[in-house]
Structure 1
């Protein structure tokens, strides 16, 4: 490696060329975006053979510098980028944005510890720190074998600990690479010892061994804690010398020096006294801690040390609870200013809960990011805060959201709690104070007197002096002016706050009861005509509402089924549902019009929907009705109301708008009707074909969307013409000014597209499939932002191609967009691509909801028997695989018996009469190669003791298996795609759940009363108040129901339904099943009258 480092390209060696010449290798758009200090950072790295640390202050654009440096060495790729898990997707977006020549297949995100298939095929691999653990040996071995020549380590201070597993794994990876760039705004969070592993990774032994470094720069000395002797390396010494040495391998710029035009950052401390009641528990813990510290002596043992640390941790948490009431009042005070957007940082979940309660009580819209929020969902929330003016508060965990995210829409930052080191505090501050910020950023630290806050603030200032001297060459401290005491005096009178989990069961006043006026049954309703009956009577009376019914979409909607209808539904349950959904109260689904595209038209009575907090609807809370291209058909081409058709099966006269006969449900326009023959000869055939037709309709729903392309095209062409007219006016004005360049632009006859798997970007190709090395985000085009595309697309013909694509793309549901993205196809029309993918989906039909271990075992035994192989039991808990025989005989034995023979399984593994032990039975072929549990194809040869890692042949199979076998995984995938928005009523059920969960119990009833869920049964509503859970608010529904073959399906057959819509759909489906069973029974004991008319 030393020889490689000496071979510096001629570009790097030349110091006389100007900056433009040195950076001419960059893509044009990236080159134009660089600021002067960023250019210097890139040249600094190139002059050091691509091995350095870029330690610019947060918000100065380290990412774009690293991308430019790695692009210079693209001939040496593959490139490895290691980032915090929450930043994986932003990094992919940045790579695709600035290096458009990268196709979607060139970038791979490692999703889990066994997702190693894409590493060898990809040019760029993005890895999260969270996967670098001691049990990820399969992944680590693959990373070492790949031999990455270029490595980028983002937030490299994650390597600060010498004993951490991730540091030990990354050290050889970075040392072995020819080019390595470390990025961090805080190389040392609190002391010099945190620098050593980063320096050692870049330049081994450059600063000596660890002992030499610690003695020289960390003021290492032996300390005694009782009788325990240990080296203490937490000090600091020779900082000026360390700073000089670091400047040779590290470049660091501060915002005050290079971004003088950036608005200032103003810190302010707001001290306040705690009410006596709030500080009661905290004072008791303080007294206990002081007593323990006074009792320490030379006889102190390890247990005393752990007691001290436990008490400090408890005091830290009790400080948060004690000051939570004051923090709530402060947040409410800030929310009184309607124009203010701000961030609130905290560490403990109790404090995050208190902050959230304050926002909910103020009826403001907010986002919350803590450790429980998936990394992909965090990007969605960041975009919501940045772009939605109604979202005014971001409640953030210091550790989960304090790094890598951008919140420049905020002008204020509030620290409800302090943290242990200044590095994390500065990182969190600069989520708002960074490039793109247009106003000064006011940072408020809420300091409760007489608590841990006072001690921690002093500690933060001591550590800031050390890190300032080491990194910046000058002593620093947390400069923060003290606020006016009289102005914040109200905080001292705040009410004591109690966490929700500490409260007892809510009193009856906070629950729903039958005695409430709107929940009492009026006896007069018994004598009133049913609303559905009135509608039926008016069905043929020429009511104008019928003009809005699209018969074609009604036909598709007729037999959509519910997910929760259990296959073994007994007659008692069916009769109950039938009572609830009597003919007089429930209308046939065939008579309800619905869009074929998967969008449900918004009711006219719901034009002005309000958010959960009483504010205006937001782009992120529900689907915008203006984006629905397929509304109900209101054209004059609809069939006349008084036209009728005669059913060929039962001769009943039906209205022309009905696609099915009202009496026998025979479809309109079947061959039997046109030929004068009965549409079927035996009712049994119809009964047996019902489930099959359900599946065919679900499968053909994408095909049905073709029928609506006329409406879609009309609306699209109208919108395209509007934007084209604007472009024409612009062209004409340019012609008048002599600036017409349209003749010089290349005109494309057609374009093809490919959707990125991991971002919102769409990549462009010629009609022949050649990459154009350009990409864009459809939402940007909708907002008339064309900066991602070159000037060629100023030509109106080229622009029309993009506009047409965007209209078709937004026409697809979020689920279909995801399926198209996942395929990686290059296509002309996204609608047609979605249709083709729908046809290619596995036609397999199953009436079981999930794949069980028994199903896997049966498939493995069958495969082993047919291939002459064997089976083995694999379990995550097992250190080594347990082979079930070295020859085909054991598998034959297992197959010949029902289930698994307990004698053939490992002793102690059978569980109380269960047919199978824990784990899975996996088939092996005749050569002993393990076969994939999902597709039964060979997997990678297992390493000793790691049989569990050979369950699947690729990540796609693992994901497909998890969706078909795990309810929690299935819910997480659907939530990631549809964000908890009901696909029937378009209300955001996930947002309602989060609001109810985070609200104080006294507010939960009011939230539910004002929501569309208020009509649910009282017991269910009260359970939502007592212990809200995600599954109480929305369900993952099977579009083609499980009982008709929709079980064990892919994502395409799944959708989000809120609990209210799901109950309605379940009841209707149960009724249809009941009718189907009654007809089936009737055919056993009776005959069909139509047989009399059939010619022999």
Structure 2
């Protein structure tokens, strides 16, 4: 049977040609609004074939098969009716769904041959996307539910937000690992323009407090009004009876490899969410298509049974085991069907800036911070009662050092968790810190990765051994002191990811640390993470340097620290310490 045309531009695939009228119908096809499904009721032959061909078809007992309505399933139903004609009971609804399926397939094939670009409206999206990111938004807009599996550092989050701005329907849900909840909230506020006040409201500008709500706790509660809701994976099981029926217009699963294992309450809750709306996307820089049951589990959340049931997938793709026999073939299938888009840094490097800085908000341990701050409160008391000008200056510097140390120790476990995520994704990481008790936390929590250390306490020979172990691939993690990076060369041949687990007063120091990787010989875009927490010295240090979080990216220069830099930074350090001492002075007398 030959293809038919939709207009003059594109040919409809054979399986989407309309079935011809028949003198016999094997049953009926009826839309079930409460489940958003198409239901086949008919002869055993058609129901048996439907369930055999489409493992996602539900319907216990004989004579019934239920298909969740979406643009992929509806195309398959059309194909089924070419062989087993069915009497359509909701003709207008079926016509709309049929046209949606045809439009999806035609656009999918066009994008595969020549990627199109889509720039979100500036009325909704506050940012500019690069060319390949515009292609990503166009892909998501046509193919959702789908998986965006770009390399780390190519901006999956901003592409997802561009897609959300394009569909421009709210509210939606973002499911994330614990470590990136705050970062997602800040990115939403940065890139999404708050909706204007509705008729009858008088506040302007719009109330940004209603933009994002981070869901907390396992016990459901009445959610406040918001455009975006953020929940971390470990809470899904507590909300599985509540969230799927909330009416989300979109669901984003960030780092969706968190769901690579099925059979848990978390997975079951995510599966229900994935079926609650057609606008579902997964984000992961580490697509898993060598271990069949894992990629099948991930894709099953995004588009239920798109790779068949577990048994049939293992049989046909994995030879009855867990390893995909032809991973390249599976990758091509996912790409061809519009189920996955993956670009590597090499694919789009010509469009990328040479260096990219990312400020990542993370949590910290309040109790640990408070315990360490007891020393600071005592020092403030000594400072305020001292009559010696030089002694007051010494105490002031010591106060600054102790606040900085308390901050580093309090956030150290969360820095380690963030680094673990990068290491598990296969990245080699250069981690910068400053305090030795922070290093000890990292050493313990990251010990399974066999990290090496260059902290300033090692001999020259030990420093070289550590550097060589990292460069030669014996470990994926090297921890370096912010003040010990000078002269270390060769790291650019091994890694392209920098994590600043602690901050320095001087942007020149950070620039030098960045340039250990951003130098001749580096073949990938260098991604630099600055991990900051809301309590302690981080925000105040950034403010003291004129580097508030919202302005941090792009401000720090690439020049080495000069004598003038050092003098200016000391002036700002003094101002910063005055603020800290004023903040905690009242606690001394308490």
TM tier, smaller: 0.3 to 0.5
Q: TM-score, normalised by structure 2?
A: 0.47
Q: TM-score, normalised by structure 1?
A: 0.27
